[in-house]
Structure 1
C-alpha cells in the first residue's frame, strides 16, 4: 500500500473516536454497522483511501468525507461486500417460475409489464441469473414484458455488472448447457455473458435505507433482497423493510436470504409458504 507520494504506508491507526465517527457515517449512509469490533477492517480501508487521496491523517480524511461526494461514494464502495454467484438460492428461482410469476400474470394480459428487482445485485450474478432461469424454465417468458432491474449502493460493482465478465467460480453452479448457450468462450479465465442477456437487465444505483432514492426506482412486482438485512440493526432493517414495501405493487412478492425473516422486522407483509420457498407478500 502506498501513500499519495508513492511511499509505503502501513494501516492507519484510528482512535476510538475516529472509529466511532466512521461507523456513524457509514451507518447513516448505508444502514450497515461498523464499530470497534471491526477495527482492522475499517483501518485497512481508510488507509487505502487516504493513500489514494494523498492525505496524511485520518482526521483530515474524515473531514473530507463531509464535503466530497465522490470520495464518500468511493469509501462506501470499499466497505460493501460483493460475494455472490449464479443460481444462488436456486429454490427461490424455482419459486419465481413455478408459483410467483404464474400467480402475478393470472390477472394480466399477454404483453403486460412485470417488473423484477434484484437489490442488492452486486456484480450482476443475481439479476442475470433471473434472466437465464426464466429463459430456461418459464414457458411464458416471451408472452409478457419482463423488466429486470439490478441495483446496488456500490457503483464499482454496478460497472462490473454492466460489463458482464465472470470468473469460473461465479459460474460453477450453472449447467454446462446454460454456459454454452449464454456465455462467450473463456478468455483469460473469464467468460462474458452474451449481449442479449446484458441488454435484458438494467442496472441502477439505489440505497435501500434512503426512501427517496428507492422511490425513484418505481414500483415492482417481485423484489429479491437477499443477505443484506443481516448487516443492519433493528432500526435500519425496519427502514429498509418499509422502503421495500412502498416499492412493491399490491400483491407483490419479496424474497429474502435463507437466514432472514421479515416477520421479525415488520408486520406489513404476509408470510407465504410456496412449494419451493418461503416468501413474503404485500397485502
Structure 2
C-alpha cells in the first residue's frame, strides 16, 4: 500500500500528470481536481507496486497497458437509457427522412455514438428506431459505439444494466428488449446486442478515428464540456471529417459549436437543434 506521501503530488508532478492526461484524452485536469487525481493515482500505485509518483510515471512511459488502464480510470461514464430523448425523436422525424431522400431502400445508414460509455446511448438509438421509425427495416442501419475507455466497451458488449440506467426507459420497452439477469439487473436481448458494434476511439486523435469511416449521424453528447478550447477545436475538426456530406452532429443540450465553428451549419428542427456538414447526402 503506497504511503500518503507517495500519492501527495507536488505542484510540478500534478502538472506533469495533468499534461499527460490532456495529451491522451483532451480532458483538463488540474489543481481543482487534486483529490480526484490523487485518489486514482493511489489505486494505480497499489496495483502496480510502484513506490512513488516518479516510479509510476516512468512506468507510464514504457507500458502501453498501464497507460490504457490509467486513462480508463479517469474517463467519465455517466449515462442512462433514453437520455435527451428529444434528439432521438429528431433523428426519426427529421434527420433520417432528410438523409434517405436521395437513397434507395436497402442502402446503408451509419450512426455513431461517441463516446458511447457503457452502451446506453447506442442501444437507445436502436430501440427508438425499432419502436418509432416505420422505415427501420427498409434500410441497412449500422449503429457503432466508440469510447476511449476499454472497460466500458466490454460492459457495452455485455449489455447488462441496473435500475439506475433503466429508470427512464418505458416499462414496455424493458419487457420487450431485456431479459432478467439476477436481482436488480437486466440484459439486452441477444439480437439487439448483435445489431450494435463497439470499438475504441479517441476524439482528439484523428488517426484512431480514421478506421471508423464516415457517418450519416453522429451523437457526441456531454463530452466537449470537459475539453478546453483547443481540444474542442481538434475534436470538432475530427467530427467534421467523420461526417459524410449532409450528415448531422447531435451535441448535448449544454454544448454548442458557436465558439468553435469548424464548418458546421446550425439546423433547427421541431425536436432539437443539431449541426450539419454542408453538402448533399
TM class, shorter-chain normalised? over 0.9
Structure 1: runs of 5 or more not aligned: none
Which of 81, 91, 103 pairs up with 1:86?
A: 81
Aligned partners of 1:242, 1:64: CA distance in 2, in Å? 32
Offset of residue 188 of structure 1: 2.5
Aligned partners of 1:163, 1:186: CA distance in 2, in Å? 11
Which of 55, 62, 75 pairs up with 1:60?
A: 55
Q: Does the 8 Å CA contact 1:149/1:201 hold for their aligned counterparts?
A: yes
Aligned partners of 2:181, 2:194: CA distance in 1, in Å? 20
Aligned partners of 1:279, 1:205: CA distance in 2, in Å? 25
1:242-263: CA deviation from partner (whole Å, max 9, x where unpaired): 0000000000000000000012
**Secondary structure of 1:115's aligned partner:** strand
Which of 73, 90, 101 pairs up with 2:68?
A: 73
Q: Does the 8 Å CA contact 2:148/2:201 hold for their aligned counterparts?
A: yes
Would you say 1:165 and 2:160 are equivalent positions?
yes
Instruction: Specify the alignment match of 1:134 in structure 2.
Output: 129
Q: 1:218 to 1:42 in 2, by over 3 A?
A: same
Offset of residue 108 of structure 1: 0.4
Q: 1:11 to 1:170 in 2, by over 3 A?
A: farther
Counting matched residue pairs gives 278
Q: Does the 8 Å CA contact 1:250/1:282 hold for their aligned counterparts?
A: yes
Offset of residue 225 of structure 1: 0.2
Which of 95, 111, 120 pairs up with 2:90?
A: 95
Aligned partners of 2:70, 2:222: CA distance in 1, in Å? 21
Aligned CA RMSD, in angstroms, stands at: 1.2
1:17-53: CA deviation from partner (whole Å, max 9, x where unpaired): 1100000000001100001111000000011011000
Structure 2: runs of 5 or more not aligned: none
Instruction: Specify the alignment match of 2:173 in structure 1.
Output: 178
